[in-house]
Structure 1
Amino acid sequence: MNPDRVSIVVTTRNESRNIGNCLASIKAQTYPAELIEIIVVDNASTDDTKDIAARYTDKVFDKGPERSAQRNFGFAQAGGDVFMFLDADMILSATVVEKSVIMLQRGFGALYIPEIVLGKGFFPTVRRFERSFYDATVIDCVRAFTRQAFEATGGFDERLTGPEDWDFDRLMRDSTRVGLLSTYEFDDVDAYVSRLPEKNFVPWLVDYERRTKDDAPLLFHNEAAFELWRYLTKKTYYGNSFETYVGKWPAGDPDVRRQLGMPYRFFGVFFEDGRWRRLLTHPHLAFGMYFLRFMVGFMFLVGKLKK
């Protein structure tokens, strides 16, 4: 079988602090570099995001107004057989691309990639804990997929900002076979992240599999500078597209009900498939997680009342 060409689309806006780390991790992949195409789609950055990106790829573009349009534009420029999309504050461990290609060649059309939230301190650890429950659920979104699978969905809905990932994931699940790239033990990864050096931590993330001898390619999401108000404000902004998203699908749609309904978002996703054991063994993190969930719901309701 001929090796697949891989196109990775990274969307940016004023990400000078993060974009170099993201692109460096792509350059450090075990998959042949000549088969990886990096496409950066910026949205009118006023810092030196584009200058930094240009050190890693000659395919740096401008496009707005939001992520959905940026991603669709990026994929329209792509020449790969396999597509992947990342945010600028994401970092890949070294074998993500290689092992994604292997799984896609075995018959999957799209893959979820386990996402590890970075950062030290209570709330970043709570976010890491919360995110560990979402892999390959309706709260997640596939990140690697074949060109054919992407074209079958029609791409991201450019009317949506926030729930566009859920919408795109739903279209993928309805049209192709999806899988999960790897699984991991939360305690082991949490301990590894907690020991990261304050500076020059990217090599530690890229080399995760080699340093830990854990055959689990991971995607690390750099939320190290967690600010509660900024987090809640971002979630509220994303909620502005929920009505449009809900209106796309039949009334009472089970996926939409789980994504936006309290029973699943507050209980179901954390208890299904035996995951309740993780809650019981980390009560302080569970408390913090439910505090964040409550605050996000409260901010969303306040936003609706103001309209």
Structure 2
Amino acid sequence: MARWLVSVVIPTRNSAATLGLTLESLRRQTYREVEVIVVDNFSVDGTPDVARRFGARVYSYGPERTAQMNFGARVARGDVLYFTNGDFWISPRVVEECVEKIAEGFDAVVVPNISNPRRGLVARARYFERLSYLGSGVYEAARCMKREVFFKIGGFDESLYSNEDYDLHKRIVASGARVGYINAFEIHIDEYTFRDLVLKSLYYGRNTVAYFRKWRDPLHMSPVRPTFFSRRYLSYLGSRWPLGIYFVIGLKLVQFFVAGVGAVLGLSTDPYRNTNRRSR
């Protein structure tokens, strides 16, 4: 197998509570040629100190995570870029499987993303919601890619901080790049409480309009999604959480309504100001 240096870029803001778990999971990767770059948005909770303890290269940059990730890509040394967040646990074979796909001739790789269902009712609903997206080809986005592909399409659109991953993915596909999928996955380890859900929906709702104007993509705006009604998904959900479909759809309707309020009123609620527990 080819041996490329993989640059893992992590944007953070007040992520000290979870970043250590993310960095420990990267330390345990089966593929060893990895550098970790943490681009911190001026945290006040000691996030940079946590990153340095794990040997990451640490930079300060803002104002939003798209700008942070673009900066991280510019200072990266690797030929392969992998973007993740400071509140994810990354299973040990993620980087190795990404490299294997790129060695097979793929230019970018979708890494499955799920939630931790043990974090509460909201997190459980998010876990089953995200399960429905796996393999859909619609609600998934490449997080690992060749460096040359990333810069060829211009990196992340810094006018976006909502749906920026889908925007990047669409431009990767439009460029003619080959996109592959792996089996190893990431787990969101700091999922929402209901309060978090409302604050984040307000915050991202302000920017969702910019994504919609750019792509006119109703599938990404609809709160009730076709993947919720596939026979395979409903069978799996019904055998493990019979009432789950109501919670999943109810949660999406709440997100849709609150995001709409944020978009219309332009509210400036920032869920990342709480220094006790926040990750980007």
Q: TM-score range by the shorter chain?
A: 0.7 to 0.9
**Equivalent position of 1:178 in the other structure:** 179
Alignment check: 8 A CA contact 2:9 2:39 kept: yes
**Equivalent position of 1:267 in the other structure:** 225
Q: How does 1:221-232 map to 2 (within 5 A)?
A: 221-224=188-191, 226-232=192-198
**Equivalent position of 2:236 in the other structure:** 278
Count of aligned pairs? 262
Offset of 1:93 from its aligned partner? 1.1
**Equivalent position of 2:214 in the other structure:** 248
Q: Show structure 2 runs of 5+ residues with no match.
A: 267-280
* Higher relative contact order (CA closer than 8 Å, sequence separation 6+): 2
**Equivalent position of 2:85 in the other structure:** 87
Distance verdict in 2 for CA 1:304–1:103, change over 3 Å: closer
Alignment check: 8 A CA contact 1:19 1:53 kept: yes
Q: Which amino acid aligns with 1:289?
A: V
Q: How does 1:147-296 map to 2 (within 5 A)?
A: 147-175=147-175, 176-182=177-183, 217-224=184-191, 226-249=192-215, 253=216, 256-260=217-221, 262=222, 265-272=223-230, 274-281=232-239, 282-296=241-255
Q: How does 1:129-144 map to 2 (within 5 A)?
A: 129-136=128-135, 137-144=137-144
Q: 1-side partners of 2:182 and 2:190: how far apart?
A: 22
Q: Which amino acid aligns with 2:254?
A: M
Offset of 1:239 from its aligned partner? 1.7
Q: 1-side partners of 2:7 and 2:39: how far apart?
A: 13
Alignment check: 8 A CA contact 1:160 1:244 kept: yes
Q: 1:77 aligns with which of 66, 75, 79?
A: 75
**Equivalent position of 2:41 in the other structure:** 43
Q: 1-side partners of 2:121 and 2:204: how far apart?
A: 24
Q: 1-side partners of 2:2 and 2:129: how far apart?
A: 39
**Equivalent position of 1:198 in the other structure:** none
Moved over 4 A (4+): none
Offset of 1:274 from its aligned partner? 4.1
SS of 2:133's partner is coil
CA RMSD, Structure 1 to Structure 2 (Å): 1.8
Q: Which amino acid aligns with 1:53?
A: A
Alignment check: 8 A CA contact 1:270 1:279 kept: no
1:64 aligns with 2:22: no
Alignment check: 8 A CA contact 2:238 2:244 kept: no
Q: 2-side partners of 1:58 and 1:301: how far apart?
A: 38
Bigger Cα displacement from structure 2, 79-88 vs 232-241:
232-241
- Show CA shifts across 1:111-163 (max 9, x none): 11111211423222111111111235322221111112212221000011112
Q: 1-side partners of 2:170 and 2:128: how far apart?
A: 24
SS of 1:294's partner is helix
Alignment check: 8 A CA contact 2:219 2:225 kept: no
**Equivalent position of 2:21 in the other structure:** 21
Q: Which amino acid aligns with 2:188?
A: H
Q: 1-side partners of 2:207 and 2:88: how far apart?
A: 24
Q: 2-side partners of 1:70 and 1:305: how far apart?
A: 27
**Equivalent position of 2:5 in the other structure:** 5
Alignment check: 8 A CA contact 2:202 2:261 kept: no
Q: Show structure 1 runs of 5+ residues with no match.
A: 183-216
Q: Which amino acid aligns with 2:247?
A: G
Bigger Cα displacement from structure 2, 240-249 vs 47-56:
240-249
**Equivalent position of 2:126 in the other structure:** 127
